[in-house]
């Protein structure tokens, strides 16, 4: 049977699409299309604002501080010109330019505002004296964040503003505001495990944490903090959060108490890794991050309860605006919940949206959901521009934008009448959970794959089983516990809450244990997630048929994922842990890694589910090791030598194509195509190498760029 010829009229139509006249007609129709979408223009302003912030963080260099104020003034002037413009395309274009410039300027202002010294080499053991900002359970100890007063004999202008210290024991009774001293080893915030990996140092910079470390012995209490009205509001809030968290742990010990604290105060330090993994793999990780679900259950639950109680009294309900009174009560409850939860980005976004809805009730105005999302995004980006590169911001807004877009689409559909279903309320509730779980999972899946290199497949099932428990038991008990906590009557609500948490954990463990519940994905390029985000926003924001053009950048982003070539050689920041890609395409560690974290990260970012112990090479893989180092043969025939001791350098430099040395080569290793020694690692961090006609080499320092959070020694140790 022959293949049917392609219709002539379709060929002509396709060719006509590429003619200049077709594009001119499309441009002529653009003002009309924009006019039809007039009420959606404003939704692109936060997108342009975020684009300006993203471009700032994507630069390989730090812009001059002298340009910030002129840029900001220029952005404001362009915004004024946008309002004054009479033509639709000009107004939209000028508005987007203004938002972009303002976003870029605010990101730079924020970076300069939080600037503080960052340690660039190991120090200690040294006595550190400081005020406790936060105390969080972590593993078998406690992790303190201190605002420093003295760090050994370090000059104050070189001293980190804040340090994070892990303490094994002796810190159980410390609370925010206490003045303490501790003997500790301090190190720079760790750099990424490989070029392009998660940058903890950048996150620490915006928290003004300039060093991390561990203690020797127990901390010494110098003075207890007794809060009074002269303290900063932030100190009072942190002290209140600490007291509530400690009380929850006293009533509910273990991981259950950790989850309860996470739901109430946002402190996730006491959650066991197994429980967190079970909830994450079951698609229930959003339960642990205070966001829209939690804020809605608290705020709208309080709104419903207050209104229902007031409605019982006819003398009040028939005379006074009880709906507005309930809105005020809900706004107060949501504000308190935001404060004690730590005001993370997802919680702030949810709070802004809830606030706009409640204010609309107070002023008898309709609540515009997508505009609420846009307002929340603009507020978060202006206050904390750095949040745009964090997974919490991206996943939170991806989920809510998609859910609102689907809700708008459903409202536009004609209602079907004449159909009877048993238990319509239950059916509608379960249908809502299924739709929101499916839409939220699809919307956040690209970001989960990009940031965490994993995808969950049974999120809808997990949410169908766990959300009724969350909505009808766990969160109502949590709200009641907070209300009764000042009176010492919270024990029973907390115990009820613990039963709900245990039930959710049962669901999480069962769903996460199903075959194929989770898959590991290889690392994505940044361009892929950017293209997919733009395509998703295009489809969610516009309403006319041209919204489906958003599939084009999404398809391009998906294509970019499959075009990425993973590194053939990886060298960790300790200079001793090395991995090479074998002929089967899998990474193999040349020997047992001393940097276990980097080895695990490499495998995860490679889409490899093996534990690092299963990825250690053997002689059958073409790897030979002894006390002096390892030698491996790459699939392309190149010989790689990883020298552990200086005595092996002479032979390795004479025979190998690539030499990775834990000792300084001092310039005499000139034969190999590439030499990376301990000084290179100390200055540049981890390395990634791609084989080919020419070697392509990247290191962490170059990948991070010349930015304030990328602090390295300016010259080799011992160099003259």
Q: Write the pLDDT tens digit of every residue in 374-385.
A: 888 898 899 899
Please tell me the least confidently modeled range out of 193-207, 619-633, 673-687, 702-716.
702-716
Q: Quick check: 33 pLDDT over 70?
A: no
Cβ 612 vs Cβ 589: under 8 Å = yes
Q: How far is CA 347 from the centre of its chain?
A: 13
How far apart, in whole angstroms, are the C-alpha atoms of residue 497 and residue 473? Answer: 7
Q: Which helix (H) or strand (E) holds 512?
A: helix 491-512
8 Å CB contact between 612 and 698: no
Nearest to 52 by CA among 15, 106, 1, 120: 106
Of the candidates 244, 236, 277, 283, which has an alpha carbon nearest to the alpha carbon of residue 260? 244
Model confidence at 341, pLDDT cuts 50, 70, 90, reads: confident
pLDDT bracket for residue 29 (50, 70, 90): low
Q: Name which residue leads in pLDDT, 88 or 641.
A: 641
Report the pLDDT value the prediction gives residue 22, as an integer from 0 to 100. Answer: 52
Residue in 96, 98, 54 with CA at minimum distance from that of residue 74 = 98
- Residue 164: pLDDT band (50, 70, 90) is very high
Neighbours of 147 (CB within 10 A): 14
If residue 482 lies in a helix (H) or strand (E), which one and from where to where?
helix 475-484
Compute how many other C-beta atoms are within 10 angstroms of the C-beta atom of residue 584.
Answer: 8
User: Which pLDDT score is estimated for 595?
Assistant: 87
pTM, entire model = 0.84
Residue 227: pLDDT band (50, 70, 90) is low
Q: What is the pLDDT of residue 611?
A: 86
Q: What angle do CA 711, 717, 720 make, to 5 degrees?
A: 115
Buried b or exposed e, range 485-517, using 16+ CB within 10 angstroms: beeeebeebbebbbebbebbbebbbbbbeeeeb
Euclidean distance between the first and the last CA atom of the chain, given in angstroms as a whole number:
79
Residue 57 and residue 674: Cα distance in Å, rounded? 31
From start to end of 480-603, where are the E strands?
518-520, 569-571, 578-581, 587-589
Most confident stretch, 214-223, 321-330, 527-536, 616-625: 527-536
């Amino acid at each position: 049977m022959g293949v049917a010829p392609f219709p002539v009229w379709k060929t002509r139509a396709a060719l006509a699409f590429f003619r200049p006249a077709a594009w001119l007609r499309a441009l002529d129709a653009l003002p009309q299309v924009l006019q039809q979408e007039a009420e959606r223009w404003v939704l692109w302003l936060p997108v342009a604002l975020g684009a300006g912030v993203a471009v700032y963080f994507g630069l390989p260099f730090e812009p001059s501080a002298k340009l910030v104020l002129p840029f900001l003034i220029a952005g404001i002037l362009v915004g004024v010109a946008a309002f004054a413009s009479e033509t639709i395309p000009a107004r939209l274009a000028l508005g987007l330019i203004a938002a972009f410039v303002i976003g870029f300027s605010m990101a730079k202002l924020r970076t300069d505002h939080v600037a503080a010294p960052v340690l660039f080499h190991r120090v200690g053991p040294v006595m550190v004296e400081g005020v406790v900002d936060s105390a969080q359970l972590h593993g078998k100890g406690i992790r303190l964040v201190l605002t420093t007063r003295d760090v050994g004999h370090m000059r104050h202008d070189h001293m980190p503003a804040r340090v994070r210290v892990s303490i094994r024991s002796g810190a159980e009774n410390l609370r925010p505001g206490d003045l303490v001293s501790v003997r500790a080893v301090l190190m720079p915030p760790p750099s990424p495990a490989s070029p392009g990996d998660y940058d903890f140092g950048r996150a620490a910079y915006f928290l003004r944490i300039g060093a991390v470390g561990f203690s020797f012995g127990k901390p010494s209490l110098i003075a207890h903090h007794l809060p009074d009205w002269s303290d900063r509001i932030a100190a009072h809030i942190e002290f209140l959060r600490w007291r509530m968290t400690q009380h929850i742990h006293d009533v509910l010990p273990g991981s259950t108490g950790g989850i309860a604290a996470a739901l109430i105060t946002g402190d996730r330090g006491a959650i066991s890794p197994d429980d967190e993994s079970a909830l994450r793999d079951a698609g229930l990780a959003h339960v642990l991050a205070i966001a829209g679900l939690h804020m809605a259950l608290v705020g709208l639950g309080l709104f419903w309860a207050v209104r229902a109680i007031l409605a019982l009294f006819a003398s009040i309900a028939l005379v006074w605006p009880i709906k507005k009174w309930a809105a005020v009560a809900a706004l107060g409850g949501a504000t308190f919940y935001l404060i004690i939860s730590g005001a993370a980005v997802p919680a702030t976004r949810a709070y802004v949206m809830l606030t706009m809805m409640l204010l609309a009730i107070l002023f008898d105005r309709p609540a515009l959901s997508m505009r609420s999302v846009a307002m929340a995004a603009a507020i978060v980006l202006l206050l904390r521009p750095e949040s745009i590169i964090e997974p919490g911001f991206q996943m939170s807004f991806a989920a809510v934008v998609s859910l609102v877009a689907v809700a708008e689409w459903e409202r536009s559909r004609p209602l079907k009448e004449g159909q009877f279903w048993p238990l319509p309320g239950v059916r509608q509730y379960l249908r809502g959970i299924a739709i929101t779980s499916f839409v939220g999972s699809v919307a956040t899946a690209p970001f989960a794959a990009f940031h965490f290199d994993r995808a969950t497949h049974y999120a809808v099932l997990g949410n169908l089983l766990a959300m009724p428990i969350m909505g009808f038991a766990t969160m109502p008990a949590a709200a009641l516990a907070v209300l009764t906590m000042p009176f010492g009557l919270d024990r029973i609500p907390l115990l009820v809450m613990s039963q709900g948490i245990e039930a959710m954990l049962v669901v999480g463990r069962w769903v996460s244990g199903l075959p194929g519940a989770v898959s590991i994905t290889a690392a994505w390029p940044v361009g892929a997630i950017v293209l997919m985000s733009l395509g998703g926003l295009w489809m969610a924001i516009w309403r006319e048929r041209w919204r489906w053009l958003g599939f084009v950048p999404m398809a391009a982003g998906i294509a970019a994922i499959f075009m990425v070539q993973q590194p053939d050689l990886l060298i960790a920041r300790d200079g001793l842990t090395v991995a090479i890609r074998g002929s089967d395409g899998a990474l193999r560690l040349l020997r047992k890694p001393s940097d276990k974290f980097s080895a695990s990260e490499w495998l995860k970012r490679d889409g490899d589910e093996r534990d690092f112990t299963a990825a250690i090479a053997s002689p059958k893989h073409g790897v030979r090791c002894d006390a002096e180092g390892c030698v491996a043969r790459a699939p392309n025939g190149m010989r790689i030598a990883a020298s552990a001791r200086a005595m092996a350098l002479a032979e390795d430099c004479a025979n190998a194509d690539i030499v990775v040395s834990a000792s300084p080569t001092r310039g005499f290793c000139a034969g190999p195509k590439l030499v990376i020694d301990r000084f290179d690692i100390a200055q540049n961090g981890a390395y990634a190498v791609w084989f080919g006609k020419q070697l392509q080499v990247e290191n962490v320092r170059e990948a991070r760029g010349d930015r304030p959070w990328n602090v390295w020694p300016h010259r080799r140790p011992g160099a003259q």
